[in-house]
Amino acid sequence: MPELPEVETIRRVLEPVLMGQIIQSAEIVRPEVIAYPDAETFCREIAGQRIVSLSRRGKFLSICFESGSRAVLHLRMTGCLLLLPADAPREKHTHAIFQLDSGEELRFSDLRRFGRFWLLKPGEKDIYTGMDKLGLEPFDENLSAGYLKQRFGGSKRAVKTCLLDQTAVAGIGNIYSDEILFAAGIAPSRPACSLNDTEWARLAAAIPERLGYFIEKNALTLEEYLASGGREYRNTPFFQVYGREGQPCPHCGAALVRVVIGGRSSVSCPICQ
DNA sequence: CGGCCCCTGACG
DNA sequence: CGTCAGGGGCCG
């Protein structure tokens, strides 16, 4: 499910309650969700670790420990992270459970089982998660028209595909690429090499603006987040184009159109973009 | 680049 | 029954 704004919501909601807690033990129901090392080693080495922070890079979350170890998590399409009383019934697709010293459990649940954990030792070089290949964070001041143009200006790839390239800008997925392109007034199918300087500038501005906007619109308290099972996304009513094929463009009223680009569904306004 | 893979469930 | 879903990796 989650793209950067939703992952950031999870980070903001869970970090305050996780900070300072010790993982007493871990149980892995589905070993395939542990990408590195193996599930047994993962459980053994995570037990006894004290959480000092929850951080985000692109769509990755890292549970950082006092020891310098960190558990990295990617939620992919349908993963979610929940905090529940230890005696609460386990939802069907719960694949990893962490017992905390508060008596609660941190649970990883994922219907499609695409999500993955990695556990990295202190100072261990991260050649496993793919985080080392990520590009700029969307709020990095170095994310500029010049950066995007230098990165993609010579490419014939559709600009939509460029936005989904995690090695250029980290954290943009299918929803927000459409929203960003609508805000910038650029058609998703445009070859990157056809964009002019004004368009690169509008795109560079729209990336942090739209992502920041949707992070704010998704704000939830811990209680609200947990009550919805981590599945409530309050920002969805604010989408201007994503999922709105055939509906009127919020700017000009023309019917929004859907095309497939790079195998991903894309909705845009045929007039404004 | 496109195409297929990983998986389950909702919807037409 | 087929198609699609907000992820990414791999393969030719």
Residue nearest to nucleotide C4 (CA to C1'): A265
Amino acid A206: pLDDT:
98
Give yes or no for CB of A76 within 7 Å of strand C: yes
Of A62, A80, A201, A59, give the one whose Cα is nearest residue A133. Answer: A59
Cα–Cα distance for residue pair A262/A249, rounded to 1 Å: 23
> In chain A, what is the straight-line distance between the N-terminal and C-terminal CA atoms, in Å?
26
Q: How far is the CA of A72 from the C1' of C9 (A)?
A: 18
Instruction: Compute how many other C-beta atoms are within 10 angstroms of the C-beta atom of residue A271.
Output: 13
Residue A213, exposed/middle/buried by CB under 10 A (0-12, 13-18, 19+)?
middle
Half-sphere exposure of A131 (CA within 13 A, CB side): 21
Give yes or no for CB of A13 within 7 Å of strand C: no
Q: How far is the CA of A19 from the C1' of B5 (A)?
A: 37
Q: How far is the CA of A266 from the C1' of B12 (A)?
A: 20
Amino acid A232: pLDDT:
85
Q: Are A150 and A143 in contact (CB under 8 A)?
A: no
Three-state secondary structure readout of A154-173: CCCCEHHHHHCCCCCECCCC
The answer to whether the Cα torsion of A249, A253, A255, A260 is positive or negative is negative
Question: Rounded to two decimals, what is the model's pTM?
Answer: 0.97
Cα–Cα distance for residue pair A246/A258, rounded to 1 Å: 8
Give yes or no for CB of A59 within 7 Å of strand C: yes
Q: What is the DSSP letter of A33?
A: G
Q: How far is the CA of A107 from the C1' of B10 (A)?
A: 24
Q: Are A51 and A64 in contact (CB under 8 A)?
A: yes
One digit per residue, the tens of pLDDT, for chain A of length 273 reads: 699 999 999 999 999 999 999 999 999 999 999 999 999 999 999 999 999 999 999 999 999 999 999 999 999 999 999 999 999 999 999 999 999 999 999 999 999 999 999 999 999 999 999 999 999 999 999 999 999 999 998 999 999 999 999 999 999 999 999 999 999 999 999 999 999 999 999 999 999 999 999 999 999 999 999 999 988 889 999 999 999 999 999 999 999 999 999 999 999 999 999
Of A181, A170, A189, give the one whose Cα is nearest residue A241. Answer: A181
Nucleotides of B strand lying within 7 Å of any protein CB atom:
1-4, 6-9
What nucleotide is nearest A156 when CA is compared to C1'?
B1
Residue nearest to nucleotide B7 (CA to C1'): A112
What nucleotide is nearest A161 when CA is compared to C1'?
B1
What nucleotide is nearest A191 when CA is compared to C1'?
B1
Active site residues of A: 2-3, 59, 264
Pairing of strands A94-100, A104-110: antiparallel
Torsional class of A243: left (φ above 0), alpha (ψ -120 to 50), beta (otherwise): left
